[in-house]
Amino acid sequence: MSDTNQIVMMQGYSQSYLIAKDDLIPDNIQLGPNFILKLPFDQADEQKPEFGFANPGSDIAGAINYMETYLSSFLTSRGLDPSIVSGKGQIQKASSGVQKYLEMIDHFDASRTDYSTYNHAEKQIYKVIKAWHDGAIGTDLLDKKYQSSVIADDSEVMINFSGPEMLQTEKEKVELWNTKVEAGFTSRLKAIMALEGLEEKEAAEYLKEVDESETPEPVITMPFGEEDADQEERSK
């Protein structure tokens, strides 16, 4: 793979060249879209200075294919499905829930490994914080709100992580809760609490405001003939 990578790199770059007499070659040459290269020459000389780029004719499609092969080999060596990364802008849909679950197992296992790593790190951080706290008690190094008694040596910190969740857009969340409410699996109050992140009391007030705003204003209707009688009475 290293040799192939070197070949792709060498074929991917063009090499600049300058043909001129030694005494006519500039001491400093700057290249780029914001620079102009001046090449002085003698009118009596038959050969004029020449500057250009030797283009190797890069195979862009081949380079992309190499990158996909390299990435596929790396993912396979880690026990992952190479299809989880695609440069073709296509997504692979599962034909069933079981297949989707099997595809997500690798992600779940990786998450569990992260849980173990962060769990250990959090406990080590707690030990450092505890040592600083106990050492700074009674000094100006510790803010007043953190002044307390010495933390027990056998104290521990418990780490809880939320389980993996599928990413959902706001529209998908609303449609999901709306389906549950229509099916009778939950209440509108529970849906408001989940969607708006409110407590039960706040959600009840919010729901009350929504219901009141949707209540149509009463329309006063008068029996036929009474309207003419009122107009005649006002004209008098």
65-111 pLDDT, tens per residue?
A: 777 888 888 877 776 666 666 655 555 565 555 555 555 655 566 56
Q: How many domains does the chain have?
A: 3
Q: How far apart are CA 210 and CA 47, in angstroms?
A: 86
pLDDT at 223 over 70: no
Contact 23, 48 (CB under 8 A): no
Last residue of a domain, one of 166, 199, 223: 166
Low-confidence winner among 56-60, 138-142, 229-233 (lowest mean pLDDT): 229-233
Q: Indicate whether this model's pTM tops 0.75.
A: no
Tell me, yes or no, whether 145 and 206 share the same domain: no
Would you say 82 and 74 are in contact if contact means Cβ atoms under 8 Å apart?
no
**Quick one: pLDDT at residue 90?**
55
Instruction: Tell me: do 126 and 154 sit in the same domain.
Output: yes
**Quick check: is 120 in a domain?**
yes
| Co-location of 133 and 195 in the same domain | no
How many CA atoms, within 13 angstroms, populate the side-chain half-sphere of residue 10? 6
CA distance 68 to 94: 22
Q: Choose among 156, 153, 158, 159: nearest CA to 134.
A: 153
79 part of a folded domain = no
- 146 and 205 both lie in a single domain: no
* Max avg pLDDT among 109-113, 127-131, 169-173: 127-131
Identify whether 80 is part of a domain.
Answer: no
* 160-180: average pLDDT: 80
**Residue type (1 letter), 212:** E
Vertex 55, ends 52 and 56: CA angle to 5°? 150
Q: Tell which residue, 161, 24, 125, 7, has the closest CA to residue 70.
A: 7
Q: Say whether both 152 and 115 belong to one domain.
A: yes
For residue 125, name the pLDDT band (cuts at 50, 70, 90): very high
My answer on whether 160 and 197 are in the same domain is no
Instruction: With respect to residue 78, please indicate whether it lies within any of the assigned structural domains.
Output: no
Domain around 136: 95-166
Most confident of 76-85, 211-220, 223-232: 76-85
Residue 235 within a domain: no
Residue 149 falls inside a structural domain: yes
One domain, residues 176 and 149: no
> Are residue 123 and residue 185 in the same domain, yes or no?
no
Confidence bin at 144 (pLDDT 50/70/90) = confident
Say how far apart CA 109 and CA 81 lie, in whole Å: 14
Q: Are residues 179 and 151 in the same domain?
A: no
CA-based max dimension of the chain: 119
Instruction: Please check whether residues 128 and 105 belong to one and the same domain.
Output: yes
**Which of 212, 177, 171, 182 minimizes the C-alpha distance to 192?**
177
| Residue 220, in any domain of the structure | no
Based on the domain organization, do 104 and 161 belong to the same domain? yes
Token representation of residue 59 = 């195979």
Structure tokens at 76: 């396979």
Task: For residue 191, count other CB atoms closer than 10 A to its CB.
Answer: 19
pLDDT of residue 32: 75
| Whether residue 194 sits in one domain with residue 138 | no
Residue 232 has pLDDT above 60, yes or no: no
- Residue 84: inside a domain, yes or no? no
**Would you say 45 and 21 are in contact if contact means Cβ atoms under 8 Å apart?**
yes
Helix (H, G, I), strand (E, B) or coil at 67: helix
Report the chain's mean pLDDT, rounded to a whole number: 75
